[in-house]
Chains A and B, each alone.
Chain A
């Protein structure tokens, strides 16, 4: 496939890449832009490890052609911490023991991030539904759910969203 110029916003910064638009956004991020925080667990849209936020929506980046990012906004796990200040979701994931092998964590956190953008006081079932496309083999999801609840609480107390 012919390479083409694609301009999009990545983690708040406008960038231009010259790439094959048919490769997946996941490949573009990992292989060409060096953002390996977004993981590949299956490459078939089944595990959620590659979840990123595309215009506010959590998507499996392995299923999104890179060309579809054109003129849109992509957020990856690398965008969440500001300097040495972690996002409340990241803090809560650590505090609640929601991270074991950690391979699902970036995708899981991005799905939770998208949820908290939509809903500042999610219920347990809303959380479980929001992360139901993100497989975790280590945790049984319990401490992840606790972490998202706790992060929502923290954000509410700070008067912020997401």
Chain B
């Protein structure tokens, strides 16, 4: 029997400013974040960290700490039998055995009845170290005779890659112009405002529950189960509200989860462990630092012929995802333009410094800084307008890029034009500098786990006619939940306020890779759409059977050809009685087609690609070197915008983070010691640092994304770095090639330039 006869039509009018009810909990102080949780009998865990960048552990004496009143457990690495773990390399242990490799390395841990006693207990632990020579600079670490960090990484090379596409040597030989540059970018912290906190609870039946907010709870769950040798079904992660993530909380801090679990298992009581802000900086997982040597070959008319990159990234003491981040950093920018010939060398080098992880945009923004700087250097030499140079070379819909990315929707040239027009590219104000930069970012990675390319979701019709969605994707303020509800509302033809979503419990949510790789809207949202469509189909089928005639579902109820109507609650009730208690559910599984991704990394890596072009207007004080950002125009192609209010928020916030990256932020070291390990010394932008930011959305439907949408959350910060660097160079006539572009750096560049003249 045909069940439903109408087609789902797009109703766009509700899609401009929807927020979930959780927002009210947040602004009244009622939302429960990780740091707010308390469980009965809860203990407080603390970690003893290495004060040395490289040392052999000769002994750890826990006896005195264990004897202190109020201390319930003290642990050191040599008495644990955990497997080494890591996302790419299994190079970490929960607590160090034999050796520490950076200042901050986890050596011992305690659990006590309050925080004060736990801290006192740390002081009572005696560790006998034998100091080893340490290495902090990537080039020195690669030199013969350098101290070695890991047996599995001879020469301290954690990862390397050599890649050639086309014939770059020939292209560089025959090109009219070759421009070269060396660039450097320091480690940067995601600086989510809520420090990482975990309450681990081990129940009497052998089940471990972690109350902690991470972007990829399912991945963390499997990893924790593996390290602790627990059945994965016995490990559950329940996420409280998350105080920011930005990629820094994809796996959060695995050490914290594992160590608090070990203590909870040992004590049989819940253990709460919260990082201090200093611990976040010295032992969190900041974004890798990079040294980039790059060159670009062009013809006189501005056609790009080839690009060569020699990238050295600073792994720090342990790898986390540094190889993958290095890969993205080294190549993603190659796909912004048509570049037929590529030569790339990457060396990821271990040093006795803070281990690294990832941050929003996964290194793409760092590559953007180098590539877009080079383009402007070329434009200057060729006497071409930087805008025209980009318009001439930028990728277009229907093209396949040099690395095999299939561009099925692309409004990059429109973005470039819009960003330039809005900033007044051709109506420049005297004394100001203008810069432009373009970006591509993969929206929904297919290759992060080639066996797990998509996402799934459930939608359930409740007895009262409302709908509950179950998803494994995470919302940490970027608006995923609101967007998913809007997608389901459109697919079901009901109001968003009739829908709620659960995503924060691994027991009830479908498995997901998590909130990374800009996959939430594109992949997770598509699964929601499919689940809601399936639910709609089943509701209509049930109603058609009840009424004995075909029906249409509209306006939150079902109507038959002869005009009979049924409320959703009536259909749910009928189904419940027919099935002795079941609910109508829709399962959505989105399985994107397999990518022909080869060993060289050639192939389509994502469901869709988002594009952006930003322009920056700046003023530079030549006396002091101070850079004043006047305005950023951020033009984005993220397909259809599903929820304008959060899309705008993503742009304002992401651009601001990009400005921090460009002009303010970056780790400072003295040897292996982090010098700016507080929010006073590591300065993220305040309300007084932020210029006028203008978001522009060029809305064109993507053929694959849900209702034509593509991802936005990561690409928002990518072009900022290049645009700011180019604007400063435009204002000064001198280029700063090391981030952050602080007043000191600019002043120094001016002085050096004057000396050369």
- A101 on interface, CB distance cutoff 8 Å: yes
Chain A neighbourhood of B30, CB < 8 A = 37
Contacting A at CB under 8 A, from B195-238, are 195
Binary CB contact string for chain A from 33 to 66 against chain B (1 if under 8 A, 0 otherwise): 0011111111110110100000000000000000
- Smallest distance from the beta carbon of A149 to chain B beta carbons, Å? 13
A36 in contact with B479 (CB, 8 Å): no
Chain B neighbourhood of A133, CB < 8 A = 686
Binary CB contact string for chain B from 673 to 694 against chain A (1 if under 8 A, 0 otherwise): 0000011100011111010010
A86 in contact with B690 (CB, 8 Å): no
The verdict on A105 contacting B687 (CB below 8 Å), with A97-B645, A140-B693 known, is: no
Chain B neighbourhood of A134, CB < 8 A = 687
- Smallest distance from the beta carbon of A99 to chain B beta carbons, Å? 5
Chain A neighbourhood of B511, CB < 8 A = none
B29 in contact with A77 (CB, 8 Å): yes
Give Cα distance in the complex from A139 to B686, angstroms: 11
Chain B neighbourhood of A136, CB < 8 A = 193, 687
- Smallest distance from the beta carbon of B382 to chain A beta carbons, Å? 35
- B340 on interface, CB distance cutoff 8 Å: no
For residue B194, which residue of chain A has the nearest CB?
Answer: A103
For residue A104, which residue of chain B has the nearest CB?
Answer: B193
The verdict on A106 contacting B656 (CB below 8 Å), with A101-B477, A128-B688, A138-B477 known, is: no
A140 in contact with B645 (CB, 8 Å): no
B33 in contact with A103 (CB, 8 Å): yes
The verdict on A142 contacting B693 (CB below 8 Å), with A39-B243, A97-B17 known, is: yes
- B24 on interface, CB distance cutoff 8 Å: yes
For residue A94, which residue of chain B has the nearest CB?
Answer: B23
Contacting A at CB under 8 A, from B23-37, are 23-33, 35-36
The verdict on A143 contacting B652 (CB below 8 Å), with A78-B29, A135-B684 known, is: yes
The verdict on A105 contacting B19 (CB below 8 Å), with A137-B684, A138-B477, A140-B653 known, is: no
- B409 on interface, CB distance cutoff 8 Å: no
Chain B neighbourhood of A76, CB < 8 A = 29
Chain A neighbourhood of B693, CB < 8 A = 140, 142
Chain B neighbourhood of A42, CB < 8 A = 195, 277, 678-679
- Smallest distance from the beta carbon of B684 to chain A beta carbons, Å? 6
A102 in contact with B31 (CB, 8 Å): yes
Give Cα distance in the complex from A144 to B648, angstroms: 12
Chain B neighbourhood of A143, CB < 8 A = 648-649, 652
Contacting B688 at CB < 8 Å: which of A39, A86, A104, A129?
A129
A94 in contact with B19 (CB, 8 Å): yes
- B478 on interface, CB distance cutoff 8 Å: yes
Chain A neighbourhood of B17, CB < 8 A = 97
For residue B33, which residue of chain A has the nearest CB?
Answer: A103
Chain B neighbourhood of A106, CB < 8 A = 27, 29
For residue A102, which residue of chain B has the nearest CB?
Answer: B26
- B461 on interface, CB distance cutoff 8 Å: no
Chain A neighbourhood of B686, CB < 8 A = 132-133, 135, 141
Chain A neighbourhood of B22, CB < 8 A = 102
Q: What is the interface size of chain B, counting residues whose CB is below 8 A from a CB of the partner? A: 55
The verdict on A39 contacting B35 (CB below 8 Å), with A78-B28, A101-B194 known, is: yes
Chain A neighbourhood of B654, CB < 8 A = 140
B23 in contact with A135 (CB, 8 Å): no
Provide the main secondary structure of the chain A interface: loop
- B723 on interface, CB distance cutoff 8 Å: no
The verdict on A140 contacting B655 (CB below 8 Å), with A35-B29, A37-B29, A101-B244 known, is: yes
- Smallest distance from the beta carbon of A84 to chain B beta carbons, Å? 10
- B304 on interface, CB distance cutoff 8 Å: no
B194 in contact with A39 (CB, 8 Å): yes
Chain A neighbourhood of B246, CB < 8 A = 137
Give Cα distance in the complex from A103 to B678, angstroms: 18
Give Cα distance in the complex from A47 to B244, angstroms: 14
A103 in contact with B193 (CB, 8 Å): yes
B688 in contact with A132 (CB, 8 Å): yes
Give Cα distance in the complex from A131 to B656, angstroms: 16
B192 in contact with A137 (CB, 8 Å): yes
The verdict on A81 contacting B28 (CB below 8 Å), with A101-B243, A102-B241 known, is: yes
Chain B neighbourhood of A93, CB < 8 A = 27
Binary CB contact string for chain A from 77 to 120 against chain B (1 if under 8 A, 0 otherwise): 11011000010001001100101111111100100000000000
For residue B688, which residue of chain A has the nearest CB?
Answer: A132
Chain A neighbourhood of B688, CB < 8 A = 128-129, 132
Contacting B679 at CB < 8 Å: which of A47, A99, A103?
A47
Give Cα distance in the complex from A133 to B688, angstroms: 10
Contacting A144 at CB < 8 Å: which of B29, B678, B687?
B687
Interface centre among B19, B23, B26 (most CB of A within 10 A): B26
- B726 on interface, CB distance cutoff 8 Å: no
A101 in contact with B23 (CB, 8 Å): no
The verdict on A38 contacting B29 (CB below 8 Å), with A49-B193, A100-B478, A143-B648 known, is: yes
What are 20 A-B pairs at a CB distance below 8 A?
A36-B36, A37-B29, A39-B243, A42-B195, A42-B678, A46-B679, A47-B277, A86-B28, A94-B24, A101-B192, A101-B243, A103-B193, A106-B29, A127-B687, A128-B690, A129-B687, A135-B679, A137-B190, A140-B690, A142-B652
Question: CB within 8 Å of A: which residues of B?
Answer: 17, 19, 22-33, 35-36, 190-195, 241-246, 276-277, 476-479, 645-646, 648-649, 651-657, 678-680, 684-688, 690, 693
Give me the 4 closest cross-chain CB pairs, A-B, nearest first.
A37-B29, A102-B26, A101-B477, A103-B243
